[in-house]
A and B are shown apart, each in its own frame.
Chain A
């Protein structure tokens, strides 16, 4: 059985709906473990004090903000190539989640930046790229909302997602060129020496897993909602044409 059989909305709903509550509970449990562990059972880092604990929200949400866009990109490509409606709807469902993740990353970053850098906001490359990513999400969601015909909307937003991805990457490197930043470089890569110590790394990993699960649960839930909304729209349209409803 190939993965494409799940492109059938009926089968998709039947398969994913039972998962959603489990995923919700699992993500809640994992996040609770990770956050409590991170907040109360890790030592305070020297130089940072207790403010360092916000990374348990900041880093996972930033991770998911980017991954949500990647997921939208893949889903858009699948829609453009194979025309599976579920894929387009999944991209649509992921966008607001990604938007909120971006917002969380920006806000927690500002709250952390205030004691650490002495400023809420700096025009640092990473911060600026995230702000631009936020604007991309806004434009994408607004375009979805503006187009009445669902197939055209899916097509146009997919094209926008593709072009937007290229420009988002371009902007990322452009702002690097534009300003040197305060933000530290990647300290979580697997191949470098100056990683954060394991005491912080393990609970952070748990939090990241929690955010991934939360994202999955929300996107599946929202995709199901979109499929149902589409079906209601189709039923209404059929009723308006006053045709007999076929079961």
Chain B
């Protein structure tokens, strides 16, 4: 599993696998928002947590179809499936690789972009914690969606239609935690719920992902 993880990471970084693309997309979305709603600092500060969360979600979505598509094209997916590693663990490793290449950079970049949006300083740690807890869930759900659509031509659009409704609870709790942090309210409850969703996804979704992969590889 570790070998698979490092292989995926290496592929993502070296072979133009879109390592920086998600980050650049995140940046562009956040930069576009002030053009849309105007540059007033107080408005931007109020909507900043939500904007950052929605942008992170879209950036994660953008790179989902790469999770299995490249392996499916060059035929390494069947090979991985016949390896001694169970498919469930493969799904988990793929999600982990996706998180390290997209989720983690987003978490690291969020404070910088928060400054651009006049996010109040006291909200920064809450935003970081909520993103750090929420993005793994985004990767896990996205891996499931990618496994459902892996064999399809033009699967990208379908993938977003399937995955985005599944993102709703994560987005609600994540953005709520960041918003409460920004307003100085206690943010513990949404954070705990967010962590619960993340752990539940990590525990259960690999099985669904593996089931979908088995169907595709049949």
Contacts and interface: CB of A to CB of B under 8 A. Distances in A.
Given A159-B208, A167-B168, A170-B169, A139 B218 contact: no
Contacts of B155: 146
B191 to A, nearest CB: 12
A142 B172 contact: no
Given A162-B208, A163-B144, A146 B152 contact: yes
Nearest to B173: A174
Contacts of B169: 167, 170-171, 174
Interface residues on B, range: 20 to 34
A239 interface: no
A182 interface: no
Interface string B166-183: 101100110010000000
A178 B158 contact: no
A162 B204 CA distance: 12
Contacts of B218: 152
B116 interface: no
Interface residues of A, number: 24
A136 B168 CA distance: 11
A36 B172 CA distance: 42
Interface string A133-167: 00110110011001100001001100110111001
Contacts of A170: 169, 197
Contacts of A160: 148, 162
B160 to A, nearest CB: 9
A177 interface: yes
A136 B165 contact: yes
B172 A139 contact: no
Interface in B183-205: 190, 193, 197, 205
Specify the main secondary structure of chain B where it touches its partner: helix
Contacts of B165: 132, 135-136, 139, 164, 167, 171
Contacts of A175: 168, 172
B13 interface: no
Contacts of A135: 161, 164-165
Contact of A142 (B158, B193, B205, B211): B158
Nearest to A163: B208
Contacts of A143: 148-149, 158, 162
Given A143-B162, A163-B205, A174 B212 contact: no
A138 B218 CA distance: 26
A178 B176 contact: yes
Contacts of A174: 168-169, 172-173, 193
A146 B158 contact: yes
Interface in B17-58: none
A23 to B, nearest CB: 32
Interface in A47-77: none
B215 A152 contact: yes
Q: 7 closest Cβ contacts across the A-B interface?
A: A174-B169, A139-B162, A135-B165, A155-B215, A174-B172, A170-B169, A171-B168
14 contacts: A136-B165, A139-B165, A143-B158, A146-B149, A156-B212, A159-B208, A159-B211, A159-B212, A167-B166, A170-B169, A171-B168, A174-B168, A174-B193, A177-B173
Given A152-B151, A159-B215, A177-B172, 5 more contacts: A138-B161, A142-B162, A155-B211, A171-B165, A177-B173
Interface of A: 132, 135-136, 138-139, 142-143, 146-147, 152, 155-156, 159-160, 162-164, 167, 170-171, 174-175, 177-178
Interface of B: 144, 148-149, 151-152, 154-155, 158, 161-162, 164-166, 168-169, 172-173, 176, 190, 193, 197, 205, 208, 211-212, 215-216, 218
